[in-house]
Amino acid sequence: MTSPKLALSDSGAVSATADAVVVGTVQGADGLRLAPGADQLAEAFGGGLIDTLLLLGATGKADEVIKLPTGGAVGAPLLVAVGLGRPGRDGRVTAEQARRASGAAARAMGGVGRAVTTLSAIDIGAAAEGSVLGAYAFTRYQSDNGANKPLRRVDLLVPSAKDAAAKAELKRATVVADGVTLARNLVNTPPNDLYPGSFAKQAAELAGDAGMEAEVLDEKALRKGGFGGVLGVGLGSSRPPRLVRLHYRPASPRAKVALVGKGVTFDTGGISIKPSQDMELMTCDMAGAAAVVAVAVTVARLKLAVEVIATVPMVENMPSGTAYRPGDVLTMYGGKTVEVLNTDAEGRLILGDAIARACEDEPDYLIETSTLTGGQVIALGARIAGVMGEPALRDRVTAHAQATGEGGWAMPLPDELRADLDSKLADMANVTGHRWASMLIGGVFLQEFVADGVLWAHVDIAGPAYNNSGPYGYTGKGATGVPVRTLSAVLADIAANG
């Protein structure tokens, strides 16, 4: 799980001392061509590099990796040609294409000690992030975890290794990529080791290391504080719930931002139990909480001029003789009452408590993220998050999700859907009697707990948080770390512009 070391280098692709050199290939209208940064390599191969790659079957399509020995033409013995796909209408490849290609190259270079990459000529930050994320492997529980050693070091080729802007961008990208790695590690940790108590302890330790304040509310404090949603969901587990509060206070913040993340460390569905098939994937139901903890740490490490208060509820949703039931009425933090119609709609219950508490801090913005609904996957698929909330902030978050390559799509919260949550017993029910617009219904429920005047956004990452298919780009199988890069970019934007 050790990330490769990143460094800037101006030694050039031909003379660089390394085990491998990475070059990009692009699908063009007139055939295969080399990406920016590869001119010296093309000359070193006597102008025949494209022809050699074509003989080896190269097309330049995204994620394609072709390896060939350099035969002494350059300092590195191995050349790794990675496809970027087709350029945009302006003829240029994007930062996300460079990020994805860097990840594909890093995944293909297991066992390589040191590599130099020319993809930094496209975008330094993207090449850095892609290299770290592509090299990621979670091997903590493998007895022979040294069998396939990941890439150890990547030198990013730049005109000048002393350039201040290049140094700053490399630092930013490294810190953000480390944040994604942290979130991935938390989500990939099995639920027998990551449960509310251990998760809370680890979050507090991470906060302390980053210079933040941390507060952990145990079940007694939750009961005293009236956190009925968190307590209700946690009733069925022998591992009691927690609520963690992390606080980053810069000297002169531009704004105050509340972050909230769903932390269900394992979700059986409770009494409304899930089917057994794929239930093991419910270890990722705390991906929102993992992302929020990682983002708070990232903001503190980057020393951004924005105050951040993260409120993270942590529970295990289990069926037992003490579990909450369909038909129960819970009194939430702040006094609203909720009739439970389905115990598998538990995330919105713990988030309702957390959002209500976070609003008491009077933030300028509130951003919450969660693996909330299967409806997100039905509507947008496994890679595109649904973003809801106050329109301006919703669209701002969506723009950063798309710019970072994590993906997001703005969705509405129609007023008429609120009536579908009416209850015969309580202020509202936790689900409707139908399956229509289920992703939006989740957002409508959460909106009830947002205080008047607070600009808020809800990011549903039910699909994007976990990749259960084959690896692609910089994303391997398992936890993705979404939406750490999105939220980090949003907070950097707020720190700069308010």
CB atoms closer than 10 angstroms to residue 67 = 14
Q: What radius of gyration do the chain's Cα atoms show?
A: 24
Looking at every residue in the chain, the average pLDDT score rounds to 96
Q: How far apart are CA 173 and CA 127, in angstroms?
A: 9
Residue type, position 373, single letter:
T
Tens digits of residue pLDDT in 326-335: 999 999 999 9
Q: Give per-residue burial for 356-394: e unless 16+ CB within 10 Å, then b.
A: bbbbebebbbbbbbbbbbebbbebbebebbbbbbbeebb
Residue among 274, 325, 383, 418 flagged as catalytic:
274
Best CA proximity match to 492, nearest among 86, 125, 93, 35: 125
**Helices 124-134/164-188 angle, 10° precision:** 30
d(CA 366, CA 343): 26
Q: Where are the domains of the chain?
A: 5-159, 178-497
Res 103 pLDDT > 80: yes
pTM for the model:
0.97
> For residue 156, what pLDDT band results from cuts at 50, 70 and 90?
very high
Q: Tokens 């990143």, residue? A: 6
Q: What is the pLDDT of residue 145?
A: 58
Q: What is the pLDDT of residue 289?
A: 99
Q: pLDDT tens across 29-77, in order?
A: 889 999 999 999 999 999 999 999 999 999 999 999 999 999 999 999 9
Q: Is 348 a catalytic residue?
A: yes
User: Which of 488, 485, 470, 298 is closest to 407 using CA atoms?
Assistant: 485
pLDDT, tens digit (0-9, with 9 covering 90-100), for 268-289: 999 999 999 999 999 999 999 9
Nearest alpha-carbon partner for 238 in 175, 195, 201: 195
Residue 389 pairs in a beta bridge with 457
In this prediction, residue 149 has a pLDDT band, given cuts at 50, 70 and 90, of confident
> What is the pLDDT averaged over residues 357-386?
98
Could you give the count of Cα atoms lying within 13 Å of 68 in the half-sphere of its Cβ? 20
How confident is the model at residue 436, as a pLDDT?
96
pLDDT tens digits, one per residue of 37-49: 999 999 999 999 9
- Report the DSSP beta bridge partners of residue 157: 9
pLDDT score at 148: 66
* Residue 143 confidence (pLDDT) above 90: no
Looking at residue 29, what is its pLDDT? Answer: 81
Q: What is the pLDDT of residues 173-222, one digit of tens each?
A: 999 999 999 999 999 999 999 999 999 999 999 999 999 999 999 999 99
3-state SS string over the chain? CCCCEEEEECCCCCCCCCCEEEEEEEEECCEEEECCCCHHHHHHCCCCHHHHHHHCCCCCCCCCEEEEECCCCCCCCEEEEEECCCCCCCCCCCHHHHHHHHHHHHHHCCCCCEEEECHHHCCHHHHHHHHHHHCCCCCCCCCCCCCCCCCCEEEEECCCCCCHHHHHHHHHHHHHHHHHHHHHHHHHCCCCCCCHHHHHHHHHHHHHHCCCEEEEECHHHHHHHCCHHHHHHHCCCCCCCEEEEEEECCCCCCCEEEEEECEEEEECCCCCCCCCCCHHHHHHCCHHHHHHHHHHHHHHHHCCCCEEEEEEEEEEECCCCCCCCCCCEEECCCCCEEECCCCCCCHHHHHHHHHHHHHCCCCCEEEEEECCCHHHHHHHCCCCEEEEECHHHHHHHHHHHHHHCCCEEECCCCHHHHHHHCCCCCCEECCCCCCCCHHHHHHHHHHCCCCCCCEEEEEECCCCCEECCCCECCECCEECCCCHHHHHHHHHHHHHHC
The domain defined by 178-497 folds into: Aminopeptidase (3.40.630)
Average pLDDT over residues 419-433: 97
For strand 385-389 and strand 455-460, is the pairing parallel, antiparallel, or unpaired? antiparallel
C-alpha angle with apex 359: 353 to 360, nearest 5 degrees? Answer: 100
Check pLDDT > 90 for residue 88. no
Alpha carbon distance 183, 284 (integer Å): 11
Question: Rounded to the nearest 5°, which phi and psi values hold at 431?
Answer: -145, 170
Determine phi and psi for 258, rounding to 5 degrees: -95, 130
List the catalytic residue out of 348, 357, 396, 485: 348
Instruction: Indicate the class that CATH gives domain 5-159.
Output: alpha beta
